[in-house]
């Protein structure tokens, strides 16, 4: 099977690398950013192009959600299989006379960060059983966690990921602003962060909650509010309100 990955960003890079490490053939990586494509091509030994899309049986589109529809129009081959990697878009967003699918890896991707691809869940949606078998065969060579998922279910998977990853990372950034303002090395907080994350491998997050809000420690809550201002104060109040409401305090 001839496969082409379209894109040059973080998802395209890691998916291409996962293919190469698991000896899944790639005919080409295609996109518009020649500098990034060249770097990927040289590292992974994959042909690349910015203007000529190779003929393939499978095209995997790894671009931003807002670009998926337009990029999908570049594929003019009929009756091939095309998949996007978006967590929020339906497969019907793809524009072309080909078989449509989604191939969603549930992970946060940065080019500079090594990943264990075996642990990344993949969620697959296709139009027919044959295409499902094709994508499952590819995904199971990469990952130990592969399952079928409708678009409706995938929307909730993506929403959960935003809460569990993007929002949490934003709180890390806000926490670092506070520590930086007092010249406290943020590295000192990494053991606490690591323990917090590790704990929910063994305990339900709701049971693992600690801190002044769940204890309803009004003195500490008021003290913290006096130290904050602006958006950080609003975030602090909103988070504590949510915690109190969850525990009916």
- What was the pLDDT predicted at 225? 97
Q: Among residues of the chain, what percentage have pLDDT more than 90? A: 98
- pTM reported for the whole predicted model: 0.89
Is the pLDDT at 38 greater than 90, yes or no?
yes
Section 138-161 average pLDDT: 96
* Residue among 45, 48, 50 at smallest CA distance from 71: 50
pLDDT in tens, 108-144: 999 889 999 999 999 999 999 999 999 999 999 999 9
- What was the pLDDT predicted at 196? 96
Is the pLDDT at 103 greater than 90, yes or no?
yes
- What was the pLDDT predicted at 146? 98
Measured CA distances, 222 to 100, 210, 217, 219, 240 (Å): 54, 17, 9, 5, 11
- What was the pLDDT predicted at 249? 78
Q: What is the DSSP letter of 187?
A: G
């Amino acid at each position: 099977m001839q496969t082409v990955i379209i894109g040059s960003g973080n998802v395209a890079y890691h998916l291409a690398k996962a293919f190469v490490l698991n000896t899944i053939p790639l005919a080409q990586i295609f996109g518009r950013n020649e500098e990034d494509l060249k770097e990927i091509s040289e590292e992974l030994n994959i042909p690349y192009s910015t203007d000529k899309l190779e003929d393939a049986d499978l095209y995997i589109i790894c671009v931003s959600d807002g670009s998926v529809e337009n990029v999908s129009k570049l594929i003019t081959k009929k009756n091939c299989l095309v998949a996007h990697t978006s967590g929020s878009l339906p497969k019907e967003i793809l524009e072309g006379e080909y078989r449509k699918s989604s191939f969603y890896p549930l992970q946060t991707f940065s080019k500079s960060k090594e990943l264990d691809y075996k642990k990344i869940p993949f969620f697959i949606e296709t139009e027919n059983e044959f295409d499902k078998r094709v994508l499952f065969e590819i995904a199971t060579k990469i990952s130990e966690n592969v399952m079928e998922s409708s678009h409706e279910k995938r929307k909730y998977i993506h929403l959960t990921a935003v809460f569990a990853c993007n929002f949490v990372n934003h709180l890390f950034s806000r926490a670092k602003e506070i520590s930086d303002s007092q010249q406290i090395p943020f590295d000192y907080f990494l053991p606490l962060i690591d323990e917090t994350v590790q704990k929910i491998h063994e305990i339900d997050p709701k049971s693992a909650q600690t801190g002044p809000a769940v204890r309803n420690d009004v003195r500490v809550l008021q003290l913290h509010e006096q130290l904050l201002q602006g958006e950080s104060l609003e975030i602090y109040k909103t988070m504590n309100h949510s915690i109190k409401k969850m525990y009916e305090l």
